[in-house]
Structure 1
Amino acid sequence: MFSTSSEQWASETFSQAKLGDIRRAKRLVVLASNLSNKLGQSLVQSSTSLADIEAAYRFTRNKAINAQAIAESGFLATAKRVNQYDCLLALEDTTSLEFRHQTVRDEMGHTTSNKHSRGMHAHSVLLFAPEQQHVVGLIEQKRWTRDITLYGQNNRHASRAYKSKESYKWEQASEAMSTRLGSEMSKVISVCDREADIIEYLTYKTTQQQRFVVRSMQSRCIEQSGNKLYQYSESLKSAGQRTVLVRQKGGRKAREACCQIRYAKVDVKMPANKKGAAVPLYYVGCQEENSDQGLSWHLLTSEPVTSKEEAERVLAYYEKRWLIEEFHKAWKSGGTQVEDLRMQSKDNLEKMVVILAFIAARLHQLRYLGLNKKAAEKQSCEMVLSPLAWKLLWSKQEKSKPPKTVPSLYWAYINLGKLAGWHDSKRNGRVGWQRLWEGWFKLQTILEGYELAKSLDLEM
């Protein structure tokens, strides 16, 4: 699942890119491999020679190369892996990328409520296998810049056509996934936050028989007793308790929330200003006890929920939504530092943005394998490291002869961090993005040095 070599990973991800010339695809592979090896570094810093630098800039400036063509190659590589799994969560979310370089800023749109902000938006879909606990990869991403002259048009949101709104991105993402995955789409469950609670989107997913879990944004009208979803949920009998780990900011230990579970079949009515039949769905509620400001999830899903076990399964799916937020961290602040890019045009910038998105997804794969401590302690480190690589890491970190028993994946995760100078100062056992990748790259360098020395000894 995880390619140990940057060169192998880059080839698997980008070698099939349709860029009009096979030489461009080969250059893309080299460029992606170099950037992956030197995480967060510029084109110049990541290149291995002056010729590499010049070739990298020619690639990004080539107007015949389209950013979406680069992305499609990466999506194809992800799609080829889905047959390994019986169930996949399509974790979706939108983020903004803000750039400070003035030349590029002039081509950007506003990104926040501040009309002076400049950048682009990206809606990404990350596939995750819940049974195997694997981050599989990116399967879709839409990037766009807002028209500055239309700043403030949200005031006219209700009067605009559905397909002209940014919220149409949720349906577009599902259409793109379905095209790429074909019959495999039946095993995919879209997991979305409150922004996706759009009646057109819910209708589309239901009509297309696509699976989903969406957190409710509002107490919608339903045909069941009580007429309003949230009030109706309060009348439902508790199906039992569930302890939910609520993630805290700043790397602090997660808070435990004791919640009541409720579920029911509901029929969501169309809003008064829209036409159409009610949408048949299932409802799953998870509310923290004795807390007015505590955790409160109201989920709408296509998954049949007729028992506590099925309700727990839907809640477990939604609990993995934070992984798309972690991908954004790997892409932005914690890993590839995409917002630090300095390019001369929006087109050049977008090519780099796409390449770094797939590098961030790869980094996310590696980090999640280690973060899931319980599972990582039961898995062999040879899942990500060759026998020689982990033995060299052992000799470097443990200062002793490698054992006959292969150490755990969690041991590798911790010691890759330590190799790059990480110390568990917060006592949370979480290696940061940068330190993990620096340790990974340092080990690859040690491995290459060992193999070179061995080959020289053979020659002598």
Structure 2
Amino acid sequence: MIDKHEQWAEQQFGQVNLGDPRRTSRLVKLASTLAANPGKPIVNISQSPADMEGAYRFIRNENIEASTIAEAGFKATATGAQQHNLLLALEDTTNIVYSHRSIREELGHINQGNRHRGLLAHSIVLFAPESSEVVGLIEQQRWTRDINTRGKRRTKTPVPYSEKESYKWERASRNMVKRLGDNLDKVISVCDREADIYDYLQYKLNNQQRFVVRSMMSRHIEEGEHKLFHYASELTSAGQKRIHIAQKAGRKARTATLDITFSAVTLKVPSNKKGGSLPVYYVGCEERGNSDSNLNWHLITNEPIHTKEDALNIVSHYEHRWLVEEYHKVWKTDGTDIESSRLQSLSNVERLVTINAFIATRILQLKFAHSHATNVSCEQVLTPKTWKLLWLKQIKTPLPDSPPNMHWAYAELAKLGGWKDTKRTGRASVKVLWQGWFKLQTILEGYELAKSLESNL
């Protein structure tokens, strides 16, 4: 359930040690204010000149490490993870672009082909599939690339794996071990094709860490004479799965029928690597017979796959990977809008970005509520008192005997925030949804104040 912003901020950051209790108090207050007004500059949300000065003083304080703030948030997520039996660690990398000149010299290049500068970030969002709940952010790394390497060809000098950018996947898993401890046994890392790295897969297998990785390349395997993808194409279908493909840009919404295949396979050691073969399970999910579509997922996992139901579980886990992409979108633009920050130094940006990294998961929790909306009670997100006030405000009829579902809550919160659904998509923007949430909290505060006054008269 999404708490009030004051309670949420205290839960996330109230126990952090910043060397002075006043700094902790300022962090909690700043996080609470930002959470109540996501995406707005500090100057526009501070209640007084003193609050604004205190917030900027905190952001500019070089004695406060962004990593210390982050560890407090990760600890809160680890605590929340304890109540779940299964968790998906959804991983992805993104870039954060800043165009203003005051900070430009401290940033690196984003890729070889353009002249933008910024940061790169690798994030892990924990998701509980059994309760359809976004638990929180458990890991995030940020770094800059050397601007002097932009446009230059890579040298042929061997670089140790631990010094490569691709080591981020293993580093992220090692950090999760520190934070989750024994709870890591119930975590499945879910990664896109960029994680299809022999060293990373070897690390996960050697340490008995669960994973689902989309295969990027048709690797050599010990089964048969062909590579993985050719071998997979000859597997007998274990059944079919229908999925809805949403409308996006010029693509029309449609329903696709996918064939499901699975098999145990053994990946051979690449010629440029040292180590042993990797015993894994393969799960294929492919739309066959449609020449206009290249929809197919080649998934590698160490989860035992013996039946169609086992294979479908793996496909379902991978289907949730889009949530980390949504998280980055909420964090960067649609929610907390960190790319619009105009702070004057990278260290200042780091502190503000870190606080907003956790606020973004809070916003994502509300947005995700629309998925599985028809079979989940709105009390997963709203307290009984809150949804009843929303009903009386929007519906204006006697209260129902049981709580409405999340589809109703999503739509009414969006309408309260000004949503009209003029495009007939059924999807509200994060900003509109969060504006409705904020208005509902104001209604709740007014109701509680009125009850308090009534009891004191």
Global fold match (TM > 0.5): yes
Does the 8 A contact of 1:10 with 1:30 survive in 2?
Answer: yes
1:430 aligns with 2:415: no
| Aligned: 1:392 with 2:362 | no
Using the alignment, how far apart are the partners of 1:452 and 1:309 within structure 2?
Answer: 52
Which residue is 2:163 aligned to?
A: 164
Change over 3 Å in CA distance of 1:253–1:395 after alignment to 2: farther
Aligned equivalent of 1:445, options 442, 447, 452: 442
In the alignment, structure 1 residue 322 sits paired with structure 2 residue 319:
no
Post-superposition shift, 1:162?
1.5
Q: Which residue of 2 aligns with 1:218?
A: 217
Q: How does 1:36-435 map to 2 (within 5 A)?
A: 36-152=35-151, 155-156=154-155, 159-250=158-249, 254-292=253-291, 293-376=293-376, 379=377, 381-435=378-432
Matched residue type, 1:419: L
Amino acid in structure 2 at the alignment position of 1:185: L
CA distance in 1, matches of 2:107, 2:194: 24
Contact 2:374 2:405 in 1 (8 A): no
Supply the AA of the counterpart residue of 1:351.
Answer: R
Write out per-residue CA displacement over residues 409-450 of structure 1, whole angstroms, 9 at most, x where no aligned residue.
Answer: 322221111011101223332221001100010111122223
* Whole-angstrom CA distance in 1 between matches of 2:253 and 2:68: 40
CA distance in 2, matches of 1:196, 1:331: 22
Letter matched to residue 414 of structure 1: A
Q: Which is worse superposed, 189-198 or 367-376? A: 367-376
- Which whole-Å CA distance do the structure 2 matches of 1:367 and 1:20 have between them? 36
Find the residue that maps to 1:212 and give its secondary structure: strand
- Write the deviation string for residues 310-332 of structure 1: whole angstroms up to 9, x where unpaired: 11111111111111111111112
Displacement after TM superposition at 1:403 (Å): 3.7
User: Structure 2 CA distance, aligned partners of 1:58 and 1:106?
Assistant: 23
SS at match of 1:40: coil
Given that 1:252 and 1:428 are in contact with CA atoms closer than 8 Å, whether structure 2 keeps it comes out as: no
The one-letter amino acid paired with 2:258 is C
Change (3 A) 1:147 1:426: same
Cα distance, 1:372 vs structure 2: 2.4
In 1, the alpha carbon distance for the partners of 2:397 and 2:310 equals 49
Q: Which runs of 5+ in 1 are unaligned?
A: none
Structure 2: 5+ residue stretches without partners: none
Deviation at 1:308, TM superposition (A): 1.0
TM-score, length basis structure 2: 0.95
Report the CA distance shift for 1:17/1:53 in structure 2 as closer, same or farther (over 3 A): same
State the Cα distance separating 1:75 from its structure 2 match: 0.4
Q: Please report how far the alpha carbon of residue 287 of structure 1 lies from its aligned counterpart in structure 2 after TM superposition.
A: 1.1
RMSD over equivalenced CA pairs, Å: 1.8
Q: SS of the residue aligned with 1:427?
A: coil
Preserved contact between residue 213 and residue 300 of structure 1 (Cα < 8 Å):
yes
Q: Give the Cα separation in 2 of the matches to 1:36 and 1:422.
A: 21
Cα gap change, 1:223/1:140 in structure 2, threshold over 3 Å: closer, same or farther? same
CA contact (8 A) 2:122 2:168 kept: yes
Instruction: Name the CA distance, whole Å, in 2 between partners of 1:144 and 1:272.
Output: 31
Q: Do 1:214 and 1:300's aligned partners in 2 also have CA atoms closer than 8 Å?
A: yes
For residue 173 of structure 1, what is the amino acid of its counterpart? Answer: A
Q: Is the 8 A contact 1:253 1:428 kept in 2?
A: no
Q: TM-score, normalised by structure 1?
A: 0.95
Q: How many residues align?
A: 456
> Quick one: distance in 1 between partners of 2:252 and 2:405?
23
Secondary structure of residue in 1 paired with 2:148? helix
**Aligned-partner SS, 2:283:** strand
Amino acid aligned to 1:337:
D
Distance 1:174 1:330, change over 3 A: same
Q: Once structures 1 and 2 are overlaid, which stretch shifts more, 181-190 or 159-168?
A: 159-168
- Relative to structure 1, the CA distance from residue 371 to residue 428 in structure 2 (aligned partners, 3 Å threshold; closer, same or farther) is farther
CA distance in 2, matches of 1:209, 1:155: 34
Cα offset, 1:61, TM superposition = 0.6
- How high is the sequence identity, in percent, across the aligned residues? 52
Residues 1:57 and 1:16: Cα distance change in structure 2 (over 3 Å): same
Tell me by how many angstroms 1:252 deviates: 7.5
